[in-house]
Amino acid sequence: MPCAELSPTMSSVRFLTTNQIAALVGVSERTVANWIDRGHIDAHRTPGRHRRVSPDELVSFLNQRGMPVPKELQTNIRVLIVEDDVMVARTLQRQLNPEESGYEVTCMEDGLSALIHIGHNKPHVVLLDILMPGMDGLEVCRKIRANPELADVQVIFVTGYSDIDPESIKRDTGAVDVLLKPMKAEELNAAVVKALSARAPHSL
């Protein structure tokens, strides 16, 4: 169930000025300068001592702070939902609010189909059910982690089983988070933002 893509208009710009960042984020230019001077945003200086920031660095900073990324800088973040219960999948997709977030959301119903999709489309984040017919989510995650070309694909388990040890699952599979169904939209979106911030900025 793919959603409409959001086409960026500034993602190809090499560097942004403090004035451009201020206009994009909705803060003063002084605030942007303070972020840079305090080391919150990596920047370089031109020969004239003007601050310059890469779009990727700004997106990484905004994700880490839980601040909205301007549409001009969004890069069609791809989220794959792997869930055999269609109603649950639709709920997760609705909670991600792709029209507002700009996420490109796709849903798959089984692990094998998901792996084929991941190999061809390489999502940024995978929301993965644990118990599914055929190949379960734990095995899907292990196969993703075993492929060096998918090293920057972040996996979040979404499960209805409360008698599990999330830390053990993360340690054994390489997943970045484990969420228990049902969860609030805020919790789901926060987990996705956290997973995105764990990726290298250039890989967004």
pLDDT, tens digit only, all 204 positions of the chain: 443 333 334 545 678 999 999 999 999 999 999 999 999 999 999 999 999 998 888 988 998 888 888 877 766 789 999 999 999 999 999 999 887 777 889 999 999 999 999 999 899 999 999 989 889 999 999 999 999 999 889 999 999 888 888 899 999 999 999 999 999 999 999 999 888 877 654 455
Q: Does residue 172 form part of some domain?
A: yes
Whether residue 182 is preceded by a cis peptide bond, meaning omega within 30 degrees of 0, is: yes
Task: Give the 3-state secondary structure of 18-74.
Answer: HHHHHHHHCCCHHHHHHHHHCCCCCCEECCCCCEEECHHHHHHHHHHHCCCCCHHHC
Query: Do 40 and 129 have their domain in common?
Result: no
Check residue 53 and give its pLDDT. 93
Burial (CB < 10 A; 0-12, 13-18, 19+), residue 94, is exposed
* Rounded CA separation 172/183 (Å): 23
Are 142 and 191 found together in one domain?
A: yes
Which CATH number do you get for residue 157?
3.40.50.2300
| 4 assigned to some structural domain | no
Inside any domain, residue 95: yes
For residue 146, tell me if it sits in a domain. yes
Domain identity same for 82 and 63: no
- In whole angstroms, give the CA distance from residue 31 to residue 15: 18
Q: In which domain, by residue range, is 197 found? A: 78-203
Domain boundary among 67, 99, 128: 67
Q: Do both 45 and 92 map to the same domain?
A: no
- Provide the token pair at 145: 């982690």
Q: Which pLDDT belongs to residue 7?
A: 34
> Tell me, what's the pLDDT at 68?
85
Q: Are residues 199 and 165 in the same domain?
A: yes
User: Do 111 and 190 fall within a single domain?
Assistant: yes
Among candidates 125, 180, 136, which has minimal Cα distance to 158? 180
Structural tokens at position 181: 């169904």
Q: Give residue 50's pLDDT.
A: 93
Whether 176 is in a domain gets the answer: yes
How many domains does one find in the chain? Answer: 2
Residue 1 lies in a domain: no
Locate 114 and state its tokens: 């998901």
94 and 191, same domain (yes or no): yes
Q: Which residues fall within 8 angstroms of residue 155, CB to CB, at 6 or more apart? A: 125, 126, 128, 141, 144, 145, 173, 174, 175, 176
Amino acid at 77: I
pLDDT at 199: 66
pLDDT in the model for residue 184 = 93
